[in-house]
Chain A
Amino acid sequence: MTVFLIRRLLQTLAVLFAVSLVVFVGLYAVGNPADILLPDDATEVERQAAIRSLGLDQPLIVQYGLFLKNALSGDLGRSFVYNEPSIKLILARFPATLELALSALFIAMVLGFPLGLYAGLHPGTRMERAIMTGSILGFSLPNFWQGLMLILIFSIGLGWLPSSGRGQTGSLFGIETSFATWDGIRHLILPATNLALFKLALVIRLTRAQVRETMPLDFVKFGRARGLTERRIVGVHVAKTIAAPIVTVIGMELGSVIAFAVVTESIFAWPGMGKLIIDSINRLDRPVVAAYLLVITFLFILINLVVDLLYTALDPRVRLGGKS
C-alpha cells in the first residue's frame, strides 16, 4: 500500500512537470500579453517597462525556470490582470465549480441508474426504447444548445428558475455553499441539470449494458433457484456486481465534468473556475491559465487515485488479491 502510494506520488510529479512544460510553451506561443494589457496609446518606454516588470524580457528557458522554481514553493505567479496570486484566484472560484460538478454527477447518477436499470431489465419494451432514444439525444445534442433550451423553457418560458449567477450562498458546516439557501439551490438547478444531461446518457447506457451482461449469468439463475425474490436478486446481487465498474467510470468523469463546466458556466454566468479561465484566456493572463491547467491536471490525478482505492473497496476479488 505504501509502495503503491509512493509510486503514485512520483507519477503525479512527473505528469505535473510534463503538463507545466507543455502549458508554458503553448502560452508563450499564443501572444504577448503586454500588447493586450497596455492601453493603445502607451509609449514604447512604458511598454518596455511593463514587459520588464512582468519578466517577459527574459528568454523562454529562464522564464520557465523561474516559473518552476516558484511553483515548487507553491507560488504559481501573479495574475497580470488582477495583480493577485493566480492560485488564490482559482481556489477562490473552485468551490463554485466543484459544487456545480458534484451536483451534476449526483443528478446524472440518481436519474441515470434507475433508468439504465429499467432499460436493462426490460429490453424491447416501449419504455426501454424511449429511454434509449432520449439518451442518444443527450449524447448528440450540443451541450450549449441544451443549456439554451433549458433557459428558454424553464427560465424565460415558465419563469420557474433563475438562469444566471450563483444566487445567495450560505454557510454549511463552515463551507460557503449554495445548498445553504433556497435561492442558492434555485440558481444551481438549471446549470447543474445542463451539465448533468451530458453525463446522464453515459450513466444510462453504462448501467443498461452492465445489467444486460449480468442478468444471464448463472448466479442470477441460482438466486432464483434458491427462491430469492427478483427484488433481492436485482437489488443486491446484480446491483452490487455492477456497482464497482459504474462507480469507477462515474468517478473518472468528475474530472471531465469539472473541465466541461467551462461551457455551462459561460452560459449560466456561474462564477466558477471555468468562467475565470475563459476570461483569462481572452486577456492572455498567462499565470492564471497555467495555474488553472495545473490545478485541473492535479485534480484528474487525485480523482483517479480515489477511484482506484474505491474500486478496491467495492470489489472483494481485487481487495483480497485474487485466489487464496
Chain B
Amino acid sequence: MSALLEVRGLKTHFYTRAGVVKAVDGIDFTLNAGEVLGLVGESGSGKTVASFSVLGLIDPPGRIVEGSIKFKGEELVGSPVSRMRQLRGRDIAMVFQDPMMTLTPVLKIETQMIETVLAHETVSRKAARDRSIEVLRRVGIPTPEDRIGAYPHQFSGGMRQRVAIAIALLHAPALILADEPTTALDVTIQGQIIAEMQKLVAETGTAMIWVSHDLAVVETIADSVAVMYAGRVVEHGPSANVIGRPAHPYTEGLLNSIPSRTTPGKRLNQIPGMAPSVLNLAPGCPFAPRCPYEQPACAEIPPARNIGPEHMARCITPLTRELT
C-alpha cells in the first residue's frame, strides 16, 4: 500500500523574543490510506503544531524550517498558498480541540457549512444546504433541518463538536486531522464521539490522525501510534506493538500511568518530573532526566532504531521485554 501522508524530518520552529521554540524538531511518520494514526504525547509536546504544519497553517513567528510533508506523493512544504487552500477542507480536514471556539459565533451553522461547500465546489446554495443537512444527520444532530438555522451558542459543547466534525466530513476528505477533539468534553460525550468518529472514518475509508494525550483512547481507535516527546517522535509503530511491547521508556511510563491497566490496589506509576520546555532545550535525549534507565550515552540524541517491522524507537537501550 502506498503512503497517503509521509512526514520526513519535519521541523517547525517559533522565533519568539525569548528564543527559538523548537515545537516540532525533526519528526517522521507515515500514514496509509484509510488508516488511523494515534499521535500521543503530553501537553506541549508539539502535537498541535505538527498537525497545523501538515495544513500549512503555521503563523509567524513560526515556520517550517526543514523537512518534507508528502500527501498522495505531492510535496506540501513550500507549495503555494493557493494550492494549500484547495487541499484544506477538501482533501485534508481538521477538527479542533475546543468546540466552543472553532465556530464563528456571529454566523449561523448554515452559513458556515454552505460556505465550506462553496469554497471547493460550484453547486447551488440549495444543493450545498441539503448536503450539509445530510452530513449533520450522519454525525447525530437531531432534526438537522431545523438546527442548521441556529447559531453556535445555541448548541452544547458536544453538539458543537459534532457540527465541527460534520464540517470536516462535507467533502469526504482523504485525511482528517482530529486534534484532541474530545478533550474539552464531558466523559460520557467523549465516548460517544470517539465511537462515532471511528465508525464514520471506517465507513468512508477516511484516514485520520487522532491527536491525544491519552494512550487509553488511542488504543481503542488507532491502527498505528506515534509517541511525541519534546518535539520529536520517540516511538512509532503498529498500535499492538507500541502498546503491547513499548520500546521507549517514555511510552512505558505513559502506559504505566493509565489507571485501567494497572492491577487494582497497586500504586499508579507516574512519570517523575515535568516535560521539558522546548525553548532552548538541553542537548542529548530530552527524556533522560526523567528516565529510569538513563546512562552516560544518553547525553547524545539517540538515532531512530528499528525494533520490529515498521516499529521504531529513539532510544539507545530500547526495552525489549513484554510489559507485565
Q: Are A217 and B101 in contact (CB under 8 A)?
A: yes
Q: Are A219 and B104 in contact (CB under 8 A)?
A: yes
Chain A, residue nearest B98 (CB):
A218
Residues of B contacting A212 in the complex (Cβ-Cβ under 8 angstroms): none
A219→B116 CA distance, assembly (Å): 13
How does the 8 Å CB contact mask read for A208-233 relative to B, with 1 for contact and 0 for none? 00000000011101111111110010
Q: How many Å from the CB of A83 to the closest CB on chain B?
A: 55
Q: A222-B96, A227-B86, A317-B106 are in contact. List 10 more A-B contacts (CB 8 A).
A: A218-B98, A221-B52, A222-B94, A225-B57, A226-B167, A227-B85, A232-B115, A317-B151, A322-B153, A324-B150
Residues of A contacting B125 in the complex (Cβ-Cβ under 8 angstroms): none
Tell which of A174-182, A235-243, A300-308 binds the partner. A235-243
Q: Are B153 and A317 in contact (CB under 8 A)?
A: yes
The one of B89, B98, B102 in contact with A227, judged by C-beta atoms closer than 8 angstroms, is: B89
Say yes or no: A316-B86 contact (C-beta < 8 A), given A223-B104, A225-B55: no
Q: Are A315 and B106 in contact (CB under 8 A)?
A: yes
Q: How many Å from the CB of B223 to the closest CB on chain A?
A: 24
Q: Are B57 and A226 in contact (CB under 8 A)?
A: no
Q: How many Å from the CB of A180 to the closest CB on chain B?
A: 38
For chain B, residues 95 to 121, give those with C-beta under 8 angstroms from any C-beta of chain A: 96, 98, 101-108, 115-116, 119-120
Q: Are B104 and A228 in contact (CB under 8 A)?
A: no
8 residue pairs A–B, Cβ–Cβ below 8 Å: A227-B88, A227-B89, A227-B116, A228-B115, A232-B115, A314-B106, A317-B106, A317-B151
Q: Are A226 and B88 in contact (CB under 8 A)?
A: yes
The total of chain B residues at the interface (CB under 8 A) is 31
Chain A, residue nearest B86 (CB):
A227
Q: Are B85 and A229 in contact (CB under 8 A)?
A: yes
A241→B120 CA distance, assembly (Å): 24
B93 within 8 A of A: yes
Q: Are A218 and B102 in contact (CB under 8 A)?
A: yes
Residues of A contacting B262 in the complex (Cβ-Cβ under 8 angstroms): none
A316→B105 CA distance, assembly (Å): 8
Chain A, residue nearest B164 (CB):
A222
Residues of B contacting A241 in the complex (Cβ-Cβ under 8 angstroms): 104-106
A240→B151 CA distance, assembly (Å): 14
A7 within 8 A of B: no
A222→B112 CA distance, assembly (Å): 11
Most buried by B among A222, A240, A315, A320: A222
B90 within 8 A of A: yes
Q: Are A316 and B120 in contact (CB under 8 A)?
A: no
The one of A217, A221, A240, A322 in contact with B107, judged by C-beta atoms closer than 8 angstroms, is: A240
Q: Are B93 and A225 in contact (CB under 8 A)?
A: yes
The one of A222, A229, A324 in contact with B102, judged by C-beta atoms closer than 8 angstroms, is: A222
Residues of B contacting A240 in the complex (Cβ-Cβ under 8 angstroms): 104, 106-107
B280 within 8 A of A: no
